[in-house]
């Protein structure tokens, strides 16, 4: 029985759950470690994302016989140039549009109240439950609006604290670009040659998955945001730049991001002109079709090989466990775990095949 495969699998899961239980009952030991990891998580994640974005540029510059340190300095100058351009030319327009949008919220609320009252006083009759819900929403609409605004300001406060932590990102990024190639040899040096080669192969696969996801998702989000902005300009939608940037940011969230992105555009369009709802829907549909049929397949390819139903399930589970942060990192985390499991399964299967060949 000790040699049976099912016994090995059962033992593995028993030991895994035992380890989880031990960690849960001794959490006071790991609490300082978790606090430290929480403090450095934002700089490391931010630097890691920029690392995968800027790594190809560094390698490209090194192909032209440019020293690695000088190539990193050039990349930093490019990032500073891009940040300066955004601050001088894009941020003021977006900030002005966002301020106007916030100032117009009371007018939108009044318009929504008038619309609901017209529906209630007309021939169209809602079911009693719907009427009760509408009356409750209308009576507390101002309170709901204030709650949303307070949430936005609280969210802005969180962003400020995050920005403070992001000050450390350039330092982490510099050393990641400079010494990132030394990580794999450092990790594998303690293993035998066979195990080191296996681990090197695994780390290479994980690196490919993260590269495909991060670079692809950022490029796709940027292009989609640009398409939405151009489309909103063509149809004359108010706050087009702010809504386009919002769509670009929300598209980073896999699968559900586009649905979140179109919501404020539809609300603004409905307030501006009821016919604008159709035009906004049409622009969003065209942009999404271009993204799903032409941009994503060419940029991201089939590197992740994840079924849409799997993505939905992973996002829902991660959202219920870790909120928005879980939704944001659910897909790459799942892709990495899947890569690791497949790699060890292939290694196990190859070792079994070799044993069978040796017996023959």
Q: Which residues touch 58 (CB under 8 Å, ≥6 apart)?
A: 68, 71, 72, 75, 177
For the ranges 54-58, 132-136, 295-299, which has the lowest average pLDDT? 132-136
CB atoms within 10 A of CB 111: 13
How much is the pLDDT for 272?
84
Query: 50 versus 98: which is more confidently predicted?
Result: 50
CB atoms within 10 A of CB 112: 17
Query: 211 versus 102: which is more confidently predicted?
Result: 211
pLDDT digits (tens, 9 = 90+) for 133-157: 555 655 555 555 556 555 555 555 5
Region 76-91: what's the mean pLDDT? 89
Nearest to 203 by CA among 219, 226, 187: 187
Whether the Cβ atoms of residue 228 and residue 244 lie closer than 8 Å to each other:
yes
Q: What confidence tier does 298 reach under pLDDT thresholds 50, 70, 90? A: low
How much is the pLDDT for 120?
57
CB atoms within 10 A of CB 46: 18
Q: For residues 167 and 172, give the distance between their C-alpha atoms in angstroms, rounded to a whole number.
A: 10
CB atoms within 10 A of CB 161: 10
Inter-helix orientation angle 169-179/27-63, to 10°: 60
Can you give the pTM of this predicted structure? 0.71
Q: In Å, how far are 26, 70, 299 from 273, measured between CA atoms?
A: 59, 54, 36
Q: For residues 255 and 139, give the distance between their C-alpha atoms in angstroms, rounded to a whole number.
A: 34
Region 207-212: what's the mean pLDDT? 87
Question: Rounded to the nearest 5 degrees, what angle is found at the Cα of 263, between the Cα atoms of 261 and 265?
Answer: 85
Whether the Cβ atoms of residue 221 and residue 248 lie closer than 8 Å to each other:
yes
Region 215-233: what's the mean pLDDT? 89
Question: Rounded to the nearest 5 degrees, what angle is found at the Cα of 152, between the Cα atoms of 38 and 270?
Answer: 135
* Torsion sign across C-alpha atoms 226, 230, 231, 235: positive
Query: 85 versus 300: which is more confidently predicted?
Result: 85
pLDDT at 234 over 90: yes
Q: Which two tokens mark 237?
A: 């939608």
| Percentage of the chain modeled with pLDDT above 90 | 11
Q: For residues 217 and 248, give the distance between their C-alpha atoms in angstroms, rounded to a whole number.
A: 10
Question: Rounded to the nearest 5 degrees, what angle is found at the Cα of 243, between the Cα atoms of 113 and 298?
Answer: 140
The full DSSP string for 156-219 is: HHHHHHHHHHGGGHHHHHHHHHHHGGGHHHHHHTTS-HHHHHHHHHHHHHHHHHHHHHHHHHHH
How much is the pLDDT for 123?
47
User: Tokens 């006071």 correspond to what residue?
Assistant: 28
Q: For residues 199 and 126, give the distance between their C-alpha atoms in angstroms, rounded to a whole number.
A: 63
What percent helix, strand, coil does the chain show, rounded to 5?
A: 90, 0, 10
Question: Rounded to the nearest 5 degrees, what angle is found at the Cα of 138, between the Cα atoms of 134 and 139?
Answer: 120
């Amino acid at each position: 029985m000790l040699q049976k495969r099912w016994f090995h699998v059962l033992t593995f899961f028993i030991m895994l759950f035992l380890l989880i239980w031990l960690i849960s009952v001794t959490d006071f030991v790991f609490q300082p470690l978790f606090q430290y990891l929480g403090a450095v998580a934002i700089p490391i994640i931010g630097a890691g994302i920029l690392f995968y974005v800027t790594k190809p540029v560094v390698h490209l510059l090194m192909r032209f016989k440019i020293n690695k340190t000088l190539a990193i300095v050039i990349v930093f100058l490019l990032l500073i140039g891009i940040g300066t351009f955004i601050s001088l030319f894009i941020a003021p327009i977006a900030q002005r549009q966002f301020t106007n949008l916030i100032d117009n919220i009371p007018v939108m609320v009044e318009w929504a109240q008038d619309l609901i009252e017209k529906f209630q006083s007309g021939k169209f009759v809602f079911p009693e439950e719907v009427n009760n819900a509408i009356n409750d929403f209308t009576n507390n609409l101002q309170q709901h609006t204030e709650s949303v605004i307070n949430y936005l300001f609280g969210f802005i406060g969180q962003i400020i604290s995050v920005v403070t932590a992001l000050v450390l990102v350039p330092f982490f990024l510099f050393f990641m670009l400079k010494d990132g190639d030394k990580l794999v040899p450092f990790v594998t040096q303690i293993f035998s040659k066979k195990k080191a080669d296996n681990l090197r192969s695994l780390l290479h696969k994980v690196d490919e998955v993260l590269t495909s996801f991060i670079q692809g998702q950022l490029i796709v989000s940027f292009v989609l945001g640009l398409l939405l902005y151009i489309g909103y300009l063509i149809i004359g939608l108010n706050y087009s730049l702010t809504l386009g940037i919002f769509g670009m940011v929300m598209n980073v969230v896999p699968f559900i991001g586009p649905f979140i992105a179109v919501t404020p555009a539809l609300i603004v369009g409905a307030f501006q002109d009821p016919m604008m709802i159709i035009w906004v829907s049409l622009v969003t549909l065209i942009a999404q079709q271009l993204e799903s049929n032409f941009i994503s397949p060419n940029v991201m390819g089939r590197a992740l090989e994840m079924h849409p139903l799997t993505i939905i399930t992973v996002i829902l589970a991660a959202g219920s466990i870790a909120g928005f942060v879980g939704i944001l990192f659910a897909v790459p985390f799942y892709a990495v775990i899947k890569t690791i499991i497949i790699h060890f399964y292939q290694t196990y299967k190859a070792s079994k095949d070799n044993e069978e060949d040796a017996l023959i």
